[in-house]
Structures are given as C-alpha cells and as structure tokens.
A and B are shown apart, each in its own frame.
Chain A
Amino acid sequence: MRIQVNARNRGYDFDAAPGEHILYAGLRAGIDLPYECATGTCGTCKAKLVSGRVRDEWPQAPGRKYVKPAAGEFLMCQCVAEEPLTVEVSKFVYPMEGGACVPQPASATLRSPHALTHDVMAFTLELDEPRDFDAGQFALLAPPGVPGYRAYSMCSHERGSRRFDFLVKRKPDGGFSQWLFAGNRDGAQLEVFGPLGKATFDPSLARNLLLIAGGSGIAGMRSILTRAARERYFERHRGYVFFGVRTLRDAFWLRELSEHAGANVEVTVALSEDDVPAEAKSQWPRLRFERGLVHEVAKRAMAGKYAELRAYVAGPPPAVDAAIRVLLLEAKLSTDNIRYDKYS
C-alpha cells in the first residue's frame, strides 16, 4: 500500500505491507518519522489524514488523548492503511543518517527466562538473523496471542548479534509481563520490531557519563556500560551510575555492576524505602549505597561534577521527570546532553 507523508520540509513515499502499522512501515524504509514510545502512549507520532482511509487497531490507546479524530488526526503507530494514503506530519522529518540501525521486523525465540527478583525477569531473544543496534536502544515485542507490541530496552550490546537480552518487570496490567510470568516461556516464538530509540551512546561522544536509572530502567544502562567497557571508554572518561530501587530485595545485577565499578566508575544503589542494611556494604564493597530517591541521591553526589558530561535517564515517568529537573536546573546541562526514555 502506497503511503505519502508530507512533512514540514519535504514529502516522502513508501510502501506498507498489508496490516503493517504506518509508523513501522516508514521507519523500516529509513524515514525518521517522529515517535518516542512507538506503542500508543506518547502521541508523538500524530499525523493528519489528507486522503485515503486508515483503520485504528487500538482506539483505546492512551496516546489518543493527543489527537483530534474529527480533524482527521491519528497515531501512526496504531493505524493501518486501508487504501493508498496521503498524510501530513507537522514536523521536520529527515531520512535516517547513513550508518543508522534501520529498524526491521524479525521473528525470535525466547530463551532462558530467569527471575532476578520477586518481580523482575531476564531473558534472551534469539533472532532469526543477526541485527545491529546502538547501546541504549529498545525493541518492540509481541508474544503469541497478546495483541499489540510492548517496548523493552536491550540490556546487552554486541554488533551483528542474533542474541538480544531483555529485562521485564512484572506489572499488574502489563500484557507482556503477565504473559511472561504466567508460565515457562522458554522456546516461545515472538514477533520483534526494532531497534528504536534515540537515547543512544556511542564512544565517539568522549564525555563523562552519568547514568540514572529507576528500577528496570537499568536495562538500557547496562547496554551502555557494556559498550563503554568493551571500548575501554572509562580509561579516558569518568562514569557515574545511580540505580534506584525500593529496598535491597528489589535490587539485581549487583555483581555485574560491581564489575564495572572501578577507579573511574562510581556505582551507587539508592534505596528509597529502606535504610541501607549493614551487610550490603560488606557484601558489595565496590558499590556505594545510599538511602533516598535516586534523583536526590544523584543530586547530592554529583554536585560540582557536571563538566563535560552527558546524562542518560530511564525509569518510571515520575523518576525520569524528577531527574531531568535536577539535570536542567541544578546541573545546567544543555538539552542535547540529557537523553531519556520514559516507560509508562
């Protein structure tokens, strides 16, 4: 199906497969259409129908509050073309840069799911073919029988790998996490679309890194740490990692984070609802532990250390918003040095 997108700066046309969501078809064609969550929440991929007909596959999407259906507006991530379309996007839209990891659909097999805490599970996806992604990116996953994609960050990083590692926190109303926790899913077939997301790290950045993660937001941070460590990035630059959880019982990957901690890398675990148990420091001598909300712990520890720095933030929206406030108003970081994903 032919799709014509008229953006502020130019027009694009591309083909969508039958049933393919318009956003994914455009991204797959190397056009950097606007999106953030790509899963119906944020409203960023809003477009306006000029001609043709679309079918909305998720009329209850939370992001629909940003669109005016009477004016022909719709979310490109949720809609399918029923006939050739012309749509208007009120933004500047550019082709993806050469060398960008252009997202593509893939099939994958879920491998070795294992619990990290009472409500966090890790697993690996084996893709049908190798795929590149940038550290900090995410992918959309759809298990069999669960409608719609969910977005999860890769927590590994390896060029041209078929194996992508993920982390999922159990949520009472989360379709994917309920499916994952409801039985042994080893060997399950999933549909995948990715990679996506612009909160990416590349060693050419050559700045100190501040990573602030609330809960499962640590997933993408681990991908960044893996990439940086492999490139010996921390021989030349400093790293500051803040991992916020409610209590020590909710923390995971402390051994892996300990391995990253060193002369140039400080790793702090912030406990928001519990005092730091005495045994934590003896068990994990290379980690720091503080009581408090992760953005407040980071603010206290980081005073005076913001020069030549880029910050990455991920986690629940209130934690991300609070951290961004600190980074803008206290740290006075420029906005291009604040990269973030909000999981809602």
Chain B
Amino acid sequence: MGKRLICQVADVPENGLKECETGDGLKLVVANAGGEFYGFQATCPHQEVPLCEGLFDGATLTCHMHLWQWDVRTGEARGIAEAPLQLFPLAREGDALYLAAAGGALDVGELFNGLAGRTLEALASLARPEAHAKGATLYRPGDPADDFFVLDAGRIEFLIGRGERSAPSGFMLKKGEVFGWAALLDGYPARIASARCLEDSRILRINGKRALAVLEQDSQAGFVVMRRLAALVARYLATSGVK
C-alpha cells in the first residue's frame, strides 16, 4: 500500500484535534500537541463516542462521555481509563501528514508500547506469529508456561478448571493485549487455565525467558515492562471501587 495522506498540517489547530479519513476509509483523530502531531483511533475504546469531541489540553485527551483519559503521545491510559488508545504513527512531509507504517501488535500493546527501538526490535525478533482457527485451544492447565502471547486479532477466552467443570474466567479482544504472562514470572512453570480461540485469531508467541534476557540488557525498559505487568496482574485481583 502506498503512503496514505491524512490531512494538511494547517487543518489541525494548535493544541486541538481533527478527525480525518484516509482515501481507503480508515478514520483517525490527529492531535496537535504543541506542534507535534499524533494520530489515534477515532472512537473511544470504551463506548462508540467520537474522540474528536473530546477535551484536549495539548497533552492529555479526555473523552467527554465518561472521562477516560490518555496521553496522546504514547496512547497510555490515565486515571480511570481501562484501555489504551491505538496509535497510528504519522510522518510529516512539508505541509502534509501521512500515515507511517502501521504499528504491530507488540508496539501498540499494553506491555511494550513506547520502548526504545532497539529493545522493541529485539523483542519483535523473538515473536513468532501464529494463526489459530475458532475453537482451537492454545494451552490447558498443567501445560508448561514457557511462552506468553500478544493478541494481534481475534478473541481468546480463558477457562479455569478441567473438562465439564470448567468455568469462564475472562477473555481478551484488543490488539496488543498480553496473556499467558506466567511465562514472565518466576515460580509459575505451568498453566493454571486454558486458553481457547472464540474467533479465528492471530497471535504473537514469545518465549518468556528469552524476553526477560532482552529486558535484562535494557533495565530501563525492563522496569517499565515490570511496572505495567504489575498493574495488569493487579487488575485481575482488584475489587470494585479500588481499580
């Protein structure tokens, strides 16, 4: 696909927002944050509210409907927001903005987005893309927990318990969501749940030990990833009101 024109730089007011659509129908919002331009999904990841109607102070975007907030430079969720923004990297050429190469599941994802280029590349080189049909089981309780997974597309359901007595225990549906993260922890060598594809799904499979070795080489990135992993695990422990 050739490079895709988004809009003219002059179309996006200073510290303002503009909704744009590419020739092939991709909608996104462009934010002008003090002269730097950032592109992200056009509707709120919460409900289908147009984000161009949001409140933008030049750095933080707030959806007016339920006050979810993000840093537009990284897409990172702030405050009460429960999901990050999907970013679309932009390239400026002269007075126009173009869509740069779309981010992969790894760099839009909740664990690794925004890491230094070299570290992200090293992690990407460990990632093995896989496609699984609806109904396929990725792992079962007791299987070795060597790899973790990043969802690229589709929907994965988790079940605890075995066979007839198994009960649903959540699901993943967003590009960049990470599961099977026991592979990044010490002392959890086996799966405690099963993971099954609810739809045809594409995932990235990454070996946990090798990923940790990459993060050992860049302890700043390692710290960021571990902080995010701690927050992710805590989301599954929290009770209502202390999110």
A residues within 8 Å of B by Cβ? 4, 6-11, 32, 43-44, 46, 66, 88, 90-92, 94-97, 100, 198, 321, 324-325, 328-329, 334-336, 338
Extra pairs beyond A44-B47, A328-B62, A335-B62 (7, CB < 8 Å): A4-B168, A6-B171, A32-B241, A95-B239, A325-B64, A329-B55, A338-B67
Binary per-residue interface labels of chain B (154-180) against chain A in the complex, 1 for a CB within 8 Å, 0 otherwise: 000100000000011111110000000
Contacts of B68 in A (CB 8 A): 335
Q: Does B80 contact A (CB under 8 A)?
A: yes
Q: Would you call B239 and A8 a contact (CB within 8 A)?
A: no
| Known A44-B47, A328-B62: A97·B236 in contact at CB below 8 Å | no
Closest chain A residue, CB of each to CB of B48:
A66
Closest chain B residue, CB of each to CB of A4:
B168
Q: Would you call A94 and B69 a contact (CB within 8 A)?
A: no
Cβ distance A329 to chain B, nearest Cβ, rounded Å: 6
Bound state CA distance, A149 and B68, in angstroms? Answer: 28
Cβ distance B78 to chain A, nearest Cβ, rounded Å: 8
Bound state CA distance, A91 and B80, in angstroms? Answer: 13
Q: Does B79 contact A (CB under 8 A)?
A: yes
Bound state CA distance, A91 and B171, in angstroms? Answer: 10
Closest chain B residue, CB of each to CB of A66:
B47
Q: Would you call B169 and A10 a contact (CB within 8 A)?
A: yes
Cβ distance B213 to chain A, nearest Cβ, rounded Å: 30
Q: Would you call B240 and A95 a contact (CB within 8 A)?
A: yes
Q: Would you call A329 and B170 a contact (CB within 8 A)?
A: no
Cβ distance A296 to chain B, nearest Cβ, rounded Å: 17
Bound state CA distance, A95 and B241, in angstroms? Answer: 9
Bound state CA distance, A127 and B65, in angstroms? Answer: 34
Q: Does B1 contact A (CB under 8 A)?
A: no
| Known A97-B239, A335-B80: A11·B67 in contact at CB below 8 Å | no
Contacts of A44 in B (CB 8 A): 47
Q: Would you call B64 and A324 a contact (CB within 8 A)?
A: yes
Interface size range on B against A:
20 to 34
Q: Would you call B79 and A336 a contact (CB within 8 A)?
A: yes
Bound state CA distance, A323 and B240, in angstroms? Answer: 27
Cβ distance B196 to chain A, nearest Cβ, rounded Å: 12
Cβ distance B59 to chain A, nearest Cβ, rounded Å: 11
Q: Which single member of A88, A90, A97, A321 contacts B240 (CB below 8 Å)?
A: A97
| Known A325-B55, A328-B67: A94·B240 in contact at CB below 8 Å | yes
Contacts of B168 in A (CB 8 A): 4, 6, 10-11
Contacts of A91 in B (CB 8 A): 82
Q: Would you call B239 and A94 a contact (CB within 8 A)?
A: yes
Cβ distance B243 to chain A, nearest Cβ, rounded Å: 7
Of A11, A66, A96, A325, chain B has the most CB atoms within 10 Å of the CB of A11
| Known A97-B240, A335-B80: A324·B67 in contact at CB below 8 Å | yes
Q: Would you call B169 and A335 a contact (CB within 8 A)?
A: no
Q: Which single member of B57, B172, B173 contacts A329 (CB below 8 Å)?
A: B57
Q: Would you call A336 and B47 a contact (CB within 8 A)?
A: no
Q: Does B10 contact A (CB under 8 A)?
A: no
Q: Is the interface of B mostly helix, strand, loop or mixed?
A: loop
Q: Could you jot down 28 A-B contacts, CB within 8 Å?
A: A4-B168, A6-B170, A7-B170, A8-B170, A9-B170, A10-B168, A10-B169, A10-B170, A10-B236, A11-B168, A11-B169, A32-B241, A43-B47, A91-B82, A92-B82, A92-B243, A94-B240, A94-B241, A95-B239, A95-B240, A97-B242, A324-B64, A325-B55, A334-B79, A335-B62, A335-B79, A336-B80, A338-B67
Bound state CA distance, A29 and B57, in angstroms? Answer: 41
Closest chain A residue, CB of each to CB of B167:
A11
Q: Does B134 contact A (CB under 8 A)?
A: no
Q: Does B235 contact A (CB under 8 A)?
A: yes
Bound state CA distance, A338 and B64, in angstroms? Answer: 12
Q: Does B238 contact A (CB under 8 A)?
A: yes
Contacts of B235 in A (CB 8 A): 9, 92
Q: Would you call A335 and B240 a contact (CB within 8 A)?
A: no
Bound state CA distance, A328 and B64, in angstroms? Answer: 10
Contacts of A88 in B (CB 8 A): 171
Q: Would you call B69 and A335 a contact (CB within 8 A)?
A: yes
Bound state CA distance, A72 and B55, in angstroms? Answer: 32
Bound state CA distance, A200 and B68, in angstroms? Answer: 19
| Known A97-B242, A338-B67: A9·B236 in contact at CB below 8 Å | yes
Of B55, B69, B170, chain A has the most CB atoms within 10 Å of the CB of B170
Contacts of A94 in B (CB 8 A): 238-241, 243
Q: Would you call A11 and B80 a contact (CB within 8 A)?
A: no
Q: Would you call B171 and A8 a contact (CB within 8 A)?
A: yes
Contacts of B69 in A (CB 8 A): 335
Bound state CA distance, A324 and B57, in angstroms? Answer: 14
Cβ distance A327 to chain B, nearest Cβ, rounded Å: 10
CB-contacts of B191-243 with A (<8 A)? 235-236, 238-243
Contacts of A7 in B (CB 8 A): 170
Cβ distance A338 to chain B, nearest Cβ, rounded Å: 6
Cβ distance B130 to chain A, nearest Cβ, rounded Å: 22
Contacts of B170 in A (CB 8 A): 6-11
CB-contacts of B49-105 with A (<8 A)? 55, 57, 62, 64, 67-69, 78-80, 82
| Known A329-B57, A336-B80: A96·B240 in contact at CB below 8 Å | yes
Bound state CA distance, A6 and B82, in angstroms? Answer: 17
